[in-house]
Structure 1
Amino acid sequence: MFQPKTDEEIVNIKIDDEIFNLKMEEGIVNSKTDEEIINSSNYNFTLDIETLLNNPPTTRSVMRRGECYIPRPQNYFMLYRRNKAAEMKSEFAGLRSSEITKQIGTMWRNETKEVKDLFYVLARLARKRHSVEYPNYKYSSRLAEKRHSVEYGNYKYSLGNKEKKNYINLIKYLYEYLLYFIIFLIIIIGCYNCLHKKQPFT
């Protein structure tokens, strides 16, 4: 399943979603039903609509997490990317997924308003279908899934990957500081003992 790779992609998707929500609230997109909009479209889909609306069963996330894992509902870019990737399969042969996503992202930004509105509507249909197939689905961010717990006394902290890295670096720093302090203390004690041994008896 497609996951945005950069902050710019995430921001662009959020902005487009907000614009689409405003359009839907104002009734700008279309007064037709979603099905009528799709059926009356002249857009040349490579994948048939039924295949496109259903979450692909062989995504890396599903295969990695097992059959019980419920995939996220597809957004407009996931749908557009899947269709474009199928359309340009030969052109994209040998490219990494991230490079394919980057190229298709450029294509999306250059698409007409009509094409974008079409995929916004497809995304809404995909969400409806997803809610029927998985009525108990609750979104859980990947960041939350990757958080780690750290216990200290009676307190328990939940750390993300970045926080975990900072925590480990802090522990390393404290360990080195303690090690240098012990070495310094040994040197001071040694010097003190040497000075007292050299003093003459009275």
Structure 2
Amino acid sequence: MADIILFNKPFQVLSQFTDERANNPRSTLAEWIKKPDFYPAGRLDYDSEGLLLLTNHGPLQHRIASPQTKMPKTYWVQVEGEISAEAIDQLSKGVNLKDGPTRPAKAQRIEPPSLWPRTPPVRHRETIPTSWIELTISEGRNRQVRRMTAAVGYPTLRLIRYKIGDWTLDKLLPGEFRIEQVHLPDAPSANSTQTRRTHSRSPKARRPNRRSAPK
């Protein structure tokens, strides 16, 4: 049995407990999570939002973070422009990046999900539309999703990680977390977890709504 924290990381928060930058330090997990001996299993970029997993169990941390496990991660991505079917097809098949081709992914266009407002908001241009996609990848290169959408001609404006394996962001607002128990040595699964507690650290906002995305 191991404990795991599901945390909705706000925009512009480091996915670590300290900031090595002495001048003008950035927000870190220490401002949101007061649980000793819990450490991130993987990372989420400073300018990305959404699901970050933390655990106090070393083998589970390695299992989640290791690229060998190929644990799928699902993102909701707002891109600049009306994304084409051809671009979706390219993302699905894999795209060539500077560090090599990506693995095939699951990609589809979705309706804008019901989300909390971001602070600061995404830049808005009257003459340039935006669109949303759902992208599931099974690798974790540096800033991979942003580089993938840019490679097919659609820069990422907003990036929310919705799902890791079977764990999802459902019912968590920015800055909120819940603790679940994972039964080991079985592979982590949402079906084998038990929610213990939810702790709110954020103002009232709109909750993510899975029903906004097509089946």
Q: Shared fold (TM-score greater than 0.5)? A: no
Normalised-by-shorter TM-score class: under 0.3
Which one has more relative contact order, counting CA pairs under 8 Å at least 6 apart? Answer: 2
TM-score normalised by structure 2 residue count: 0.22
Higher share in helix: 1
Give the number of the structure whose alpha-carbon radius of gyration is greater.
1
Higher share in strand: 2
